[in-house]
Amino acid sequence: MDISLDKNAGDFQIRSYKERTILVNNREFREPFTVSLNKLTQEHLPSTVDAITADALKELNIQDYEAVLLGTGPELIHPSWEIIEAAQMMGAPLEVMSTGAACRTFTILASEGRQVLAILYP
């Protein structure tokens, strides 16, 4: 599904998400990564949503963003309460959703120039 909008305030634009593959600009991702308006990285992420720790969230500096999206894959996977609470204590509540929903939400918020971080698990 093509989800891109014409307007984007940052360097990175999610173009599509299908079959556990996310297309950002012209690069395909099949492993977890984070993307914001001006940064894309595959560092500091465990291989599964279940393995996310509070320390991993700290390394991502989630407190620097007004919206933090966690795309958990094709289906919604709820992280542990400890992770949700840790994010809230850092001042950046996690918005947990399927990866497709997170890609669409990121695209909309990025088009508005909002400081958004998406943690995406294809």
CATH number of the domain enclosing 34: 3.40.1230.10
Provide the pLDDT for residue 94: 94
Sole residue written with tokens 């890609």: 103
Cα separation, 27 vs 95, in Å, equals: 25
Model confidence pLDDT, tens digit, residues 22-65: 999 999 999 999 999 999 999 889 999 999 999 999 999 999 99
Sole residue written with tokens 């991993």: 56
Nearest CA-CA partner of 82 in 116, 60, 51, 59? 51
17 has pLDDT over 80: yes
Q: Is residue 47 included in any domain, yes or no?
A: yes
Average pLDDT, the chain: 92
Query: What's the distance, CA 22 to chain centroid?
Result: 11
pTM here? 0.91
Q: Is residue 5 included in any domain, yes or no?
A: no
Q: Is residue 7 included in any domain, yes or no?
A: no
CB atoms within 10 A of CB 62: 22
Greatest Cα-to-Cα distance within the chain, rounded to the nearest angstrom: 38
Q: Is residue 111 included in any domain, yes or no?
A: yes
CB atoms within 10 A of CB 57: 23
Q: Is residue 1 included in any domain, yes or no?
A: no
Q: Is residue 9 included in any domain, yes or no?
A: no
Q: Is residue 4 included in any domain, yes or no?
A: no
- Residue 32's domain spans which residues? 14-120
pLDDT band at 2 (very low <50, low <70, confident <90, very high): low
Cα separation, 121 vs 74, in Å, equals: 9
Provide the pLDDT for residue 32: 97
Q: How many domains does the chain have?
A: 1
Q: Which residues contact 73 (CB under 8 A, 6 or more apart)?
A: 20, 49, 98, 99, 121, 122
3 has pLDDT over 90: no
